[in-house]
A and B are shown apart, each in its own frame.
Chain A
Amino acid sequence: MAARLGAGDRDQVKKGGFILFVGLLAFLGLVFYHPLFRVLQRGLTEGGKWSFSPLGTILTDGYYLHIIVFSLKQAIMSTLLSLGIGLPGAYLLTRYSFPGKTAIRSLTVVPFVLPAIVVALGFILFFGNSGWVNQWLMSLFHLSSPPLHILYSLTGIVLAHAFYNAPIVTRVVNAAWEGIDPEIDEAASSLGAGGIRRFVGITLPLLAPALLSSAALVFIFSFLSFPIVLTLGGARYATIEVGIYTLVRTLLDYRLGSALILVETALSLSFTYLYLKAEGGFAVLTQGSRRLAVYPLFVRKASIGRVLIVVYIVIISVFFLGPISSVLVDSLRVAGRWSCESYRQIFALSYNPFLGVSPLRTVLNSLFIGGISTAISLPVGTLIAMFAVRSRLPGRRLIEAILMAPLAVSSVAIGFAVLYGLGGAPLHLSGTLIVIALAHAILTYPFVVRVIRPVLEGLDPSLVEAARSLGASRNRAFFEVILPLIGPGMLAAAVFAFALSIGEMTATIMLMRPGLGTMPVAVYSLLSARQFGAASAMGMILIVVTAVAFLAIDRLGKRGTKCQSL
């Protein structure tokens, strides 16, 4: 703060921040930490006393050790494949220009917010035994049986995780890469360093924090993945999540279930801590005075590099567009003919017996829950981002990791905790839209932090100081200086939180009651009711809603500071 500020003024700022922060902790305590603590407490008690014996049972049982190892193994493989697919994409977006580049960059978030059930349907329609790929191969080589057995195996799980997460790697690494000052590279070049040497010696170390940060994020998501493992791997491949689900939901063994939740949370909290540490290194990168040179991708002269890039683009397009287009085609085919019947069903205003409400109502429910949860997660996330950037407290990394805990706690556990903590007396929120919105707010605020934090870090504090020294009040400085600067970032965060809420299903299903269904739940109900065309149509609407939201944010974002870290 500038020297011109009086001591009392400074205290007031601190006091205001302190009150807000205590309010934040109280809120999170009520809706998240306390319910979660009560669930975990069950796993650490035996006959009413604290005990480590449930934990001991888990850690000495071959079966639980097997699923812990398998969870780690598939998460590592998924992370490596996501990096392998995502990094060339980041290179492409950084170094080349081509038509539709901006659109593609914003669309990279879309796979991430797609409900697992839609992705699973797309994968089955595209990669399955009678899916497009096998059909093509069979007619091309005149085969009588499908040659590729991709799904229902470890390969299927890892591919689906890469489908979800590779675009995240592309986005995060691309943002960091564009921030590298080209002068460093040019200096090395003038000293005679070759292309590969410059990449290994300069670019790679500068990208390391972004690489680590995105790899850690992908690892955590794959580690906690549940519906994908269950739908594309099948029951023969069990992760810790599946183990918890079985214990808590089927065997009602809260003792062992909570102990396993404890192991899972401890592991993923450690990964979250590593991820935050890596991301902290991110801030070291400073914007250069110039941006990296960008080359047009499509030129007359073909080189080996350009041919490789085109091959990559073709493979990637098939991989990402294939499953999505097969959902689109499925939604437009009724009994072997082209038809819009499925969409007519979805937009019908009348009561749909399969959903318990009219389909339009599920769209409205989704929008309402998305709106309320964003209205909660945006201020919560912004406050935590401010804490992360401004605080100089000892152990703030650890506090931050704890504040980011929802990232490390599975949706099954969060849904269960919220139900446990808020569903009954005294609030009786069970089965209301509000309780679903609260659960969504908890699930999404860490992503708000992720988007806003780099924006706050990029904010030059001298701007505020200048405004204050020129006599602007604290509020005026906030509304007229800070807000316009971080506004686009907050908007991007809001859209991201909103899109995540729209696509969320696991916690919703645990908390909903009929009539409160959302769009992904409708997809699921339509599948259960054997209405595949309508399920695909609803899935397409979900894809379109999220894609439009991100394209819109990209247009808005261009007017302000860059906000592309996620």
Chain B
Amino acid sequence: MFNKLTVLFVVVLLATVVIGTGKERLVVYTYDSFVSWGPAAALEEVFESQHDCDLQFIAAGGAKTTLSRLLAERDASGTKADLFMAEVNEVPRIMNYDLFLPVTKEDIPNLALVPEELLLDPGGGFVPYEYGYITLTYDSQVLTEDELPRSLDQLSDPRYARMLVCEDPRTSSTGFSFLLWTIARFGEEGYLDFWQAIDPTILTITSGWSEAWAMLSHGEAPLIVSFSSDTAYGAMYEDSIRYRAFAPGGQGYRTVYGIGIVKETTKPELAKAFIDLLLSIEIQEQLPGTEIMIPANSHAKLPPEYDEYLVIPEDPLMLPLDLVGERMERWLHDWERAIVTK
């Protein structure tokens, strides 16, 4: 009996290897929400109708884990990925590992419609397609506008005890942006004191943004670290603006998502065509409704809910990427020791 099963197993194994060959395939490594919630399906339909190829998205978890997976594969035996999507704070690591092929406006015509201030990679391989701001979001049935903290500092006030949920900067890109925000705001010498001061305010630190949002919307906590587009999201999808984004002290941390061509690809032209499509007005205008982010293409129109409810911090913060690259490991190390070792 066991022998028969072994034979069956080998046959199935061989069959999958054989079936795996066929049309030219363009593989995009992305993060979960781009596929589950974002415009992946629409992109696939349009791209496959324009080019004779099989477009395949691979999501290996949150935005932070996919890069690790790609690097592990590349290190072990080479990766299948032709394109890779990432949050901008990964750029230093991407440069370190020399992952991306540099591209220009000649390669990708739609890149000309992206404002200069979003082109953050000195290597020219990381092409931004959307951006947004990390701010705080509150439950308007628990806190009134007057009761909100006027700045990050006020979060340590005892009246906010056990109210805030933030994300783990080691596992979540949202959490990492919030950590960078505190460093940008209080400096390297002061940010750990701030984290100590808000310890009684923090109800818990979740591994990802979705857990934090689940806690907000189930009445578990009235305050979370989230995106400045949350109010617009509620207006678009839930006919309610109960959960509202706000920028304490007019501040928020800028987050940019981008895509790059993996150096080892054998299909650079196809990959460039894909990026051009991603930056096209047609796809860019879908991003506010699917990714809940602001399109990088400045010619893309925003939906009316964004005009009304999108929070744009007067004083958006962003640390220089080379500094993030240089200090990231130490900051996480110190944060971990200040927060966890109790």
- A: residues with CB less than 8 A from B are 20, 23, 38, 62-63, 66-67, 120-121, 124-125, 128-131, 149, 151-152, 230-231, 233-238, 245-246, 248-252, 351, 353-356, 372, 375-376, 379, 382-383, 416, 419-421, 423-425, 427-434, 509-510, 512-514, 524-525, 527-530, 532
- Shortest CB–CB separation between residue A434 and chain B, in angstroms? 5
The reply on B53 being an interface residue by CB < 8 A is no
Q: Give a binary string over B174-218; 1 marks a CB under 8 Å from any A CB, 0 the rest.
A: 000000000000000000000000000011111111110111011
Q: In the bound complex, do residue A245 and residue B171 qualify as a contact, i.e. CB atoms below 8 Å apart?
A: yes
Q: Which residues of B contact A20 (CB under 8 A)?
A: 2
Shortest Cβ gap from A336 to chain B (Å): 11
Neighbouring A residues of B332 by C-beta, 8 Å: 246, 250-251
Determine which of B35, B76, B340 lies in contact with A423 in the assembled complex, contact meaning CB atoms within 8 Å. B76
A383 contacts across to B, CB distance below 8 A: 2
Sample of 28 A–B contacts (CB below 8 Å): A63-B336, A63-B340, A63-B341, A121-B214, A128-B218, A129-B220, A230-B168, A231-B207, A235-B206, A235-B340, A236-B204, A238-B340, A246-B170, A248-B68, A249-B65, A250-B332, A375-B5, A379-B6, A424-B77, A424-B79, A428-B20, A430-B73, A434-B12, A434-B16, A509-B60, A528-B209, A529-B33, A530-B217
Q: Which residues of A sit under 8 angstroms from B58, Cβ to Cβ?
A: 431, 513-514
Bound: A292/B9 CA distance, A:
45
Contact among B9, B69, B205 for A510, CB-based, below 8 A: B69
Residues 75-89 of B contacting A (Cβ, < 8 Å)? 76-80
Contact A152 B204, CB 8 Å, known A252-B68, A383-B2, A430-B73: yes
Which residues from chain B sit less than 8 Å from chain A, CB to CB? 1-2, 5-6, 8-9, 12-13, 16-17, 20, 32-33, 35-37, 40-41, 56-61, 64-65, 68-69, 71-73, 76-80, 93, 162, 168, 170-171, 202-211, 213-215, 217-221, 290, 329, 332, 336-337, 339-342
The answer on a CB contact under 8 Å between B214 and A532 is: yes
Chain A residue at smallest Cβ distance from B290: A353
| A514 with B40: CB separation less than 8 A | yes
Interchain CA distance A434-B18 in the complex, whole Å: 13
Kindly list the 7 A-B residue pairs having the minimum CB-CB distance in the complex, ordered from nearest: A424-B77, A234-B204, A235-B205, A130-B219, A152-B204, A528-B210, A235-B168
Residues of chain A lying within 8 A (CB to CB) of residue B61: 509-510
**Is B36 a contact of A529 with CB atoms below 8 Å?**
yes
Min Cβ gap A325→B in Å is: 16
Contacts of B12 in A (CB 8 A): 372, 434
Residue of A nearest to B240 (CB): A335
Docked Cα-Cα span, A347 to B162, in Å, equals 39
Contact A432 B20 (CB under 8 A): yes
A125, A236, A353: the one within 8 Å of B340 (CB):
A236
Q: Which of B5, B9, B64 contacts A249 (CB 8 A)?
A: B64
Residues of A within 8 A of B209 (CB): 528
Cα distance, A353 to B64, chains bound together (Å): 22
- The reply to whether B64 and A527 form a contact with Cβ atoms under 8 Å apart is no
The smallest beta-carbon distance between B242 and chain A, in angstroms, is 12
Are A420 and B5 closer than 8 Å at their CB atoms?
Answer: no
Q: Min CB distance, A439 to chain B, in Å?
A: 14
Closest Cβ neighbor of A145 among chain B residues: B162
Query: For the complex, what is the distance from the CA of A35 to the CA of B202, rounded to whole Å?
Result: 40
Chain A residues positioned under 8 Å from B35 (CB to CB)? 356, 514
B71:A252 contact, CB within 8 angstroms: yes
- Residues of the A chain whose Cβ atoms lie less than 8 Å from the Cβ of B2: 20, 379, 382-383
B218→A130 contact, CB < 8 A: yes
The answer to whether B32 and A528 touch across the interface, beta carbons within 8 angstroms, is yes
Query: Residue of B at shortest CB range from A479?
Result: B1
A431 to B66, CA, bound (A): 13
- A234 and B206 contact, Cβ closer than 8 Å, known pairs A149-B162, A356-B41, A376-B9: yes
For residue A360, give the distance in angstroms from its CB to the closest CB of chain B. 16
**Hey, which chain A residues are within 8 Å of B208, CB to CB?**
528
User: Do A125 and B205 form a contact, CB below 8 Å, given A250-B68, A428-B17, A432-B20?
Assistant: no
State the Cβ distance, A15 to closest chain B Cβ, in Å.
14
Instruction: Give Cα distance in the complex from A311 to B83, angstroms.
Output: 60
Kindly state the separation between the CA atoms of A20 and B6 in the bound complex, as whole angstroms.
10
Report chain A residues within 8 Å CB of B78: 424-425
Interchain nearest-CB distance for A421 vs B (Å): 8
* Complex Cα gap A124–B219 (Å): 10
Give CA–CA (A121, B79) in the complex, Å. Answer: 35
C-alpha gap A20/B3 in the complex (Å): 8
Q: Contact check, B16 vs A432: say whether CB atoms are below 8 A apart.
A: yes
Contacts beyond the supplied A66-B341, A528-B209: 8 A-B pairs with Cβ under 8 Å: A237-B340, A249-B64, A356-B35, A424-B78, A434-B16, A514-B40, A528-B208, A532-B217
| Cross-chain contact B13 with A124 (CB below 8 angstroms) | no
Assess the B206–A231 pair: CB atoms within 8 A: yes
Contacts of B59 in A (CB 8 A): 356, 512-514
Please report the C-alpha to C-alpha distance between residue A532 and residue B210 in the assembled complex, in whole angstroms. Answer: 10
A513–B55 CA distance with the chains assembled, in angstroms:
13
**A129–B80 contact, CB under 8 A?**
no
- Is B170 a contact of A528 with CB atoms below 8 Å? no
Chain B residues whose C-beta falls within 8 Å of the C-beta of A530 in the assembled complex = 210, 213, 217
Known: A429-B16, A528-B37. A250 touches B64 (CB 8 A): yes
Residues of B close to A231: CB separation below 8 A: 206-207, 211
Does the CB pair A236–B205 fall under 8 Å? Answer: yes
Residue of B nearest to A510 (CB): B60
The residues of B that contact A124 with a CB separation of less than 8 Å are: 214-215, 218, 220
* 8 Å CB contact of A151 from B72, B204, B205, B219: B204
Give Cα A421–Cα B77 distance, bound, in whole angstroms: 9
Docked pose: A207 CA to B251 CA in angstroms? 63
Q: How far is the CB of A393 from chain B (nearest CB, A)?
A: 21
| Chain A residues, CB < 8 A from B342 | 236
Chain B residue at minimal CB-CB distance from A380 = B2
A427–B61 Cα gap in the complex (Å)? 23
Q: When chains A and B are docked, how far (Å) is the Cα of A130 from the Cα of B222?
A: 11
Kindly list chain B residues whose C-beta atoms are within 8 Å of the C-beta of A353.
36-37, 41, 290
Report the minimal beta-carbon distance from B284 to chain A, rounded to whole angstroms: 18
Query: Is there an interface contact between A235 and B170, defined as CB atoms closer than 8 Å?
Result: yes
